[in-house]
Amino acid sequence: MAFAKVSAYEMDRRQLLRMTGTMGIAVGASYVVGDELYAAGNCDKIVVENGTVDATQAAAQLQYWIDGLHFGQRTALASRANLTLWMDLKQTADTYVESVVLMDPNKKTMAARYFDASMKMLDGRVPYVTFDNMTLDYTKTYYIVYTVRSGSRAKLYSAQITNPETSRLNTTFLPQKLRDDFKTFLFQTANNPTPGLITNQFQFYTKNGLAAHTARGRVKTMASDGSSFAVNIDFMHGDLDAQHYMRYFIVMDPVGRILGFKKRAFGDPESGNLDVSKVSDQQVADYAIPAAQIANIADCPYVQIYTEDSYDAIARNVIRFR
């Protein structure tokens, strides 16, 4: 997961439509971001939301995850990637996210997604937005605008992703207690030139190889409201010694927020596979996990599963629901 700082603006919705066309937003067409509108005197910048929340602070940050970009740094082949976004915005009958636009470095539209007030998560927030199979250049900057309809007014939440790279477990969001356990992977060393990188079909950074370090799992049960679930995850291999055994099993949402996890100790009775359930109140307290970093599995179009070998590997895979 990564965070992008968001700026918020407000203007007359009809004026926005005149400037951008009928909601959008054709691929390759020019689009506008809030700072340009503000500079031209066409909108107001929101400094405070709802009287208390600064629109550029953590509660308004855009969270995103990038899968892909495996080729650009090593070959002339254009890199393709999936970009998934999540923003902490509610959908109501009166105010709702109407469109999400992804723009290239020249602020030309690459893709757009559309919503109405009925399209929302169980808690009322706007659903995850995924742009599939996009060509991204890791040296460039890309722009994202959420347009929020509120009667005759429109709010624009603008963010940018600079130098996009494949998302990975890193120090930017993991709770400190988890982060301390993962220092082998989170910090660059001679044996770990890409800190936080996880095993995938394209890259594995130790000599032990991909065959014995692949994540596999399945969903056994899930309540319709997400109040409970069991995701069964395979061990990558058996316990070898007190420094080399299967330790963490983690389930995350599409942008890396925590759904559930289990930490084993060497010699614990489980072997072969185990179930991960919804993160408990005790785990939230023990690991000091912020509420904004906890997700509901019932809202997820897919989940990420991680298995961790305490010695030299973290493996990742995806389970899709629909």
Of the candidates 110, 122, 123, which has an alpha carbon nearest to the alpha carbon of residue 82? 110
Are 158 and 260 part of one and the same domain?
no
Whether 98 and 207 map to the same domain: the answer is: no
**Do 111 and 208 belong to one domain?**
no
What is residue 58's predicted lDDT score, i.e. its pLDDT? Answer: 43
49, part of any domain: yes
Q: Pick from 129, 162, 195: which residue ends a domain? A: 162
- Last residue in a domain, options 105, 127, 162: 162
- 123 lies in the same domain as 201: no
Examine the domain organization and report whether 180 and 130 are in the same domain: no
The CATH number of the domain holding residue 295 is 2.60.40.730
Q: Both tokens of residue 150?
A: 């509120």
Instruction: Point out which residues pair with 162 in neighbouring strands.
Output: 141
Tell me which residue range forms the domain holding 110: 2-162
Q: Based on the domain organization, do 81 and 228 belong to the same domain?
A: no
CA distances from 60 to 29, 53, 94, 210, 223 (A): 27, 9, 20, 38, 29
If asked whether residues 157 and 15 sit together in one domain, one would say yes
Question: What averages of pLDDT result for each successive group of 10 residues across the chain (322 residues)?
Answer: 78 76 56 68 63 46 82 63 90 91 90 92 93 88 90 86 80 75 68 61 57 85 95 92 89 94 91 94 92 92 90 84 78
Q: Please report the DSSP string for 41-67 in residue order.
A: TSSEEESEETTTEETTSGGGPEEEEEE
Residues 139 and 235 in one domain: no
20 and 155 share one domain: yes
What Cα–Cα distance (Å) separates residue 152 from each residue in 24, 50, 57, 85, 171?
A: 17, 18, 26, 26, 42
In this structure, the answer to whether residues 50 and 189 fall within a common structural domain is: no
Assigned domain for 168 exists: no
- Tell how many helices (H) and how many strands (E) occur in the chain: 5, 19
Q: Are 134 and 15 within one domain?
A: yes
pTM over 0.75: yes
**Amino acid identity for residue 125 in this structure:** R
How high is the pLDDT of residue 9?
Answer: 79
Give me the number of domains the chain comprises: 2
The answer for residues whose C-beta is within 8 angstroms of residue 4's C-beta and 6 or more apart is 61, 62, 63, 64, 144, 159, 160, 161
Cα separation, 35 vs 39, whole angstroms: 6
Whether residue 170 is contained in a domain is answered as no
Looking at the structure, do residues 122 and 208 belong to the same domain, yes or no? no
Q: Confirm whether 241 is domain-assigned.
A: yes
pLDDT score recorded for residue 53? 41
Given 104, 138, 162, the domain boundary residue is 162
Whether residue 38 contacts residue 45, with contact meaning beta carbons closer than 8 Å, is answered with: yes
